Amino acid sequence: MSEKLLEMINEQMNFELQSAYEYKAMQIYADDEEFEGFAHWFGHQVMEEIEHAEKMTKFLQEVGFKPVYKAMEAPNTEFTDLLDVTKKALDHEKEVTRRIHEIAKAAREEGDERVISFIQWFVDEQVEEEDTFGKLITRLERINGNYGGLYILDGQLAHRG
Ligand SMILES: [Fe+2]
């Protein structure tokens, strides 16, 4: 197992935590705007990203690599509305997908079966993540800023468990 591959996973582990940080800022924004359902939903997203980082930490430890935590960037806190938040979330997920695919490609090039198998879960997970945000964007575009629609959607998002 190459050092380069392990460092890429370590880098991604840090980026998953960065993702949690970005979603935390989105949660705070939704909460400030009194959209409790969106805030709950983004709070759930924060926990998922921490779990992703934990999966990578565990894998690195299992193969004998000491995980290294790096400084995080301050998350974006500039949002115009919920559609803007969701579009920025999708952009972020696309960047995550790009990085995951780079790891998968490097693992295949090195013929590293353990990393190929490990990273496949994340490849699949990213399909789901992008689809989830894509659907939310479609719904918000249809609602088109109408408060009645926004509150119905907010009520539905409150039930994410
Ligand atoms: Fe993630």
What separation in Å is there between the alpha carbon of 16 and the centre of ligand 1? 5
What is the three-class DSSP state of 84?
helix
What separation in Å is there between the alpha carbon of 146 and the centre of ligand 1? 31
Per-residue confidence (pLDDT) for residue 71, from 0 to 100: 96
Residue with tokens 């960037």: 73
Per-residue confidence (pLDDT) for residue 69, from 0 to 100: 97
Per-residue confidence (pLDDT) for residue 1, from 0 to 100: 81
What separation in Å is there between the alpha carbon of 108 and the centre of ligand 1? 21
Per-residue confidence (pLDDT) for residue 39, from 0 to 100: 98
Largest CA distance in the chain: 55
Per-residue confidence (pLDDT) for residue 160, from 0 to 100: 78
Per-residue confidence (pLDDT) for residue 15, from 0 to 100: 98
What separation in Å is there between the alpha carbon of 96 and the centre of ligand 1? 7
Per-residue confidence (pLDDT) for residue 119, from 0 to 100: 98
What separation in Å is there between the alpha carbon of 161 and the centre of ligand 1? 17
What separation in Å is there between the alpha carbon of 33 and the centre of ligand 1? 25
What separation in Å is there between the alpha carbon of 93 and the centre of ligand 1? 8
What separation in Å is there between the alpha carbon of 147 and the centre of ligand 1? 30
Structure token digits, residue 99: 């990085």
Per-residue confidence (pLDDT) for residue 128, from 0 to 100: 96
How far is CA 124 from each of CA 76, 118, 121, rounded to the nearest angstrom? 26, 11, 5
Per-residue confidence (pLDDT) for residue 130, from 0 to 100: 97
What separation in Å is there between the alpha carbon of 148 and the centre of ligand 1? 32
Residues of the chain with pLDDT under 70: none
What separation in Å is there between the alpha carbon of 10 and the centre of ligand 1? 13
